[in-house]
Amino acid sequence: MNLVIDVGNTLIKLAVFRNNTLVFKKEVAEHSIKNEIFEIKKHYPTLVTAIISSVGKLEQSTLTFLEGEFTLTVLSVQVRLPFKNLYETPKTLGVDRIALVAAGVNQFPHQNILIIDAGTCITFDFVNSENTYLGGAISPGLQMRYKALHNFTAKLPLLERNVPTELIGTSTNTAIHSGVVYGVLNELEGVINQYKLRYPDLSVILTGGDAKFLSKQLKSSIFALSDFLLEGLNYILQYNINE
């Protein structure tokens, strides 16, 4: 059994895998992680191996605690990866993107894959059918766009995401929703179509916090997979254990 720890910008996701099967998942704040780990180990006493991926801030004391409880793999580009990486600046490649690519090559082997992670940022990552990661793109996510309109103007309100009822906004609020949501949807559709011109047999995976919200409105054929990053981390851990 494996423990997967995904440290995001606000919360930490804890997941337990039995081989390839996700059997437990919970989001916690860092201040409560020790108690949660003790509870998890009570339910899964054979749990000894773990992997951690961090794009957020993690206290050294927390990392030290985890190293004392588990045989811990800290994900970085130095870890043995199940794909060839052609990214020109590998040291700046986010560990979340590495995990997503790993999930892609595991679940969609020998396929051209575009992985879209719709979270704080929207990341696009492409892996070709030869198991080679070529790179992708990074752009602002939904909430970042709403916040930018509010923070960089004097009078525009800060809104929560909402599905526009009309293309033409007839008030400031509806105009913001139309601009942000349709802007993101058109961006996703446009990027997908550009990739499909080069790779007609493309498989598209959509994941991340806004995946469910966006997938209902996309016209393109996609796989909406909510636990894709966690599954990628588990695969990297297994890949290294079995080397």
pTM over 0.75: yes
Are 207 and 118 within 8 A, CB to CB?
yes
Are residues 222 and 183 both part of a single domain? yes
In a domain, 95, yes or no: yes
Asked whether residue 6 is marked as a ligand-binding residue, the answer is yes
Are residues 126 and 42 both part of a single domain? no
Is residue 243 pLDDT above 70, yes or no?
no
Are residues 208 and 98 both part of a single domain? yes
Are residues 134 and 180 both part of a single domain? yes
The CATH number assigned to the domain holding 179 equals 3.30.420.40
Tokens representing 54? 């961090």
Are residues 67 and 96 both part of a single domain? no
- 26: domain range? 2-74
Active site residues: 96
**Tens of pLDDT along 112-121?**
999 999 999 9
Instruction: Please count the other Cβ atoms lying within 10 Å of the Cβ belonging to residue 207.
Output: 27
In a domain, 82, yes or no: no
Asked whether residue 179 is marked as a ligand-binding residue, the answer is no
**Tens of pLDDT along 25-49?**
999 988 889 999 999 999 999 899 9
Asked whether residue 169 is marked as a ligand-binding residue, the answer is no
In a domain, 31, yes or no: yes
| pLDDT at res. 81 | 95
Are residues 223 and 133 both part of a single domain? yes
Query: What is the three-class DSSP state of 73?
Result: strand
Is residue 221 pLDDT above 70, yes or no?
yes
Are residues 67 and 116 both part of a single domain? no
Nearest CA to 218 out of 200, 179, 192 is that of 192
Are residues 61 and 128 both part of a single domain? no
Are residues 193 and 162 both part of a single domain? yes
Is residue 91 pLDDT above 80, yes or no?
yes
In Å, the largest CA–CA distance within the chain is 59
- The structural domain count of the chain equals 2
In a domain, 240, yes or no: no
